[in-house]
Amino acid sequence: MYRVILVDDERLIVRGLSSVVPWKELGCEVAAVAYDGKTGLEQIRSLKPDIVLTDIRMPNMDGLTMLAAVHSEFPEIQTAVLTAYRDFDYARQALTLGVFRYLLKPSNLEELKETVRLMAARLDTRPARREESEEGTVAAAGNHLVRAALAYMKEHCAEQHLSLGEVADRVYVSQWHLSKLLNRETGQSFFDLLGSLRISRAKELLTGTSMRVQDVAEATGFSDVGHFSRSFKRFAGCTPGEYRNQHD
């Protein structure tokens, strides 16, 4: 029996899916349900199900990034989306990230049964399936996660205590997994990427404002001016003062 996790913030939907879909007839069983994306991801990591049926428009959750996280870490899991969100581009991106079907609410029982049946059939032939498509899904999911992580880092790089753990939480993966993805996609570590973003912002402030170097350091997330000056020279090849003089 293939194990299924259902994720939807509408409890009535979850109860309906649990009771109406003939899971046993389809060779499946509902192993767990969740009413938000965070809990759903925790259950996926804990139970490692074969199939996930999820909504992607839930409070405090970036649905596409959540799906990317699932397929980046568990490319063998079959996922289908059941949502009221009717947006072609969103659906296209979801399919690119490895979603098998993008179903719109209200979905009829036959459509749901067909989707589960086809996902189970894909699982039946898993050992014989070619891996290229799975590898492509992992690559697309990883790329999406890195872009989301970098966007968050750029927005929050001036915060002194921005950490790998905080960014990993925002893109729904472990610190270890995000670190691996960043290295693979950019060739740089989290701390080098963060330092580069901070120095880029510092350059803008040094040339576009009359702020003191100490104030620029504080405004770009550095704990003290000495650390800022050392980092600036490592990334830019000169001190902050020299950079400002060169660009006056």
pLDDT digit string (tens) for 105-118?
Answer: 888 999 999 999 99
Domain residue extents for the chain: 2-130, 193-246
pLDDT band at 87 (very low <50, low <70, confident <90, very high): confident
- Round to whole Å and give the CA distance between 21 and 19: 6
Q: Work out the average pLDDT over 180-186.
A: 96
**Tens-digit pLDDT profile for residues 12-53:** 999 999 999 999 999 999 999 999 888 888 899 999 999 999
Q: Sheet containing 101-104: which strands, arranged edge to edge? A: 28-34, 2-7, 51-54, 78-83, 101-104
The CATH architecture assigned to 2-130 reads: 3-Layer(aba) Sandwich (3.40)
Query: Which residue has better confidence, 202 or 130?
Result: 202
Q: What percent of the chain has pLDDT over 90?
A: 75
pTM for the whole structure: 0.84
The CATH architecture assigned to 193-246 reads: Orthogonal Bundle (1.10)
